[in-house]
């Protein structure tokens, strides 16, 4: 009984907005994919791309208004989501490169908790590359790991010129 009471306490706490948005995304995506198959999945991907690019342009505008360029080193300091205890990230800056490793991400954790990994991966695979393109069309993102599959999320922002140089 005490285990059941402990679980019920979860309902007494406010739900963080990131968790609500992850739930909304997963349920909408699931419905669209179940009704429209691959065409629906592609529509969801395209929606994430457009959403991410719009946000990325906003991040670039924040940098511009702060008198900064839209170079990789100015990305995190102008990011549009405020700091939160729901995310833990280690960032490593190198020349023309930013490596990010998330050990905690409420969005990915919510997809896992709800058994919505398939739909969460649509978001996770597409959002950061789209954010980068919107921020600076010469920035590309390569994911190495995803929290949903690997327990951590790890990806790297690189300038296209530095990719060509290697």
- Find, among 110, 106, 109, 146, the residue nearest to 128 by Cα: 146
Show the domains of the chain with their CATH numbers.
16-159 (3.90.1520)
Band of residue 166 on the pLDDT scale cut at 50, 70, 90: very low
Phi, psi of 73, deg, nearest 5: -65, -15
pLDDT digits (tens, 9 = 90+) for 85-129: 899 999 999 999 999 999 999 999 999 999 999 999 999 999 999
């Amino acid at each position: 009984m005490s285990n059941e009471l402990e679980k019920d306490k979860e309902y007494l706490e406010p739900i963080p907005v990131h968790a609500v948005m992850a739930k909304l995304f997963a349920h909408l995506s699931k419905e669209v994919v179940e009704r429209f198959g691959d065409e629906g999945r592609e529509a969801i991907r395209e929606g994430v791309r457009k959403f991410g690019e719009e946000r990325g342009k906003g991040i670039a505008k924040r940098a511009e208004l702060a008198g900064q360029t839209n170079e990789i080193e100015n990305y995190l300091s102008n990011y549009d989501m405020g700091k939160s205890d729901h995310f833990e990230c280690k960032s490593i800056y190198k020349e023309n490169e930013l490596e990010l490793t998330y050990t905690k991400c409420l969005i990915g954790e919510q997809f896992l908790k709800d058994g919505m990994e398939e739909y969460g991966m649509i978001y996770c695979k597409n959002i950061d590359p789209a954010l980068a393109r919107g921020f600076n069309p010469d920035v590309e993102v390569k994911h190495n790991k995803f929290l949903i599959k690997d327990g951590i999320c790890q990806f790297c922002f690189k300038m296209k010129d530095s990719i060509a140089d290697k």
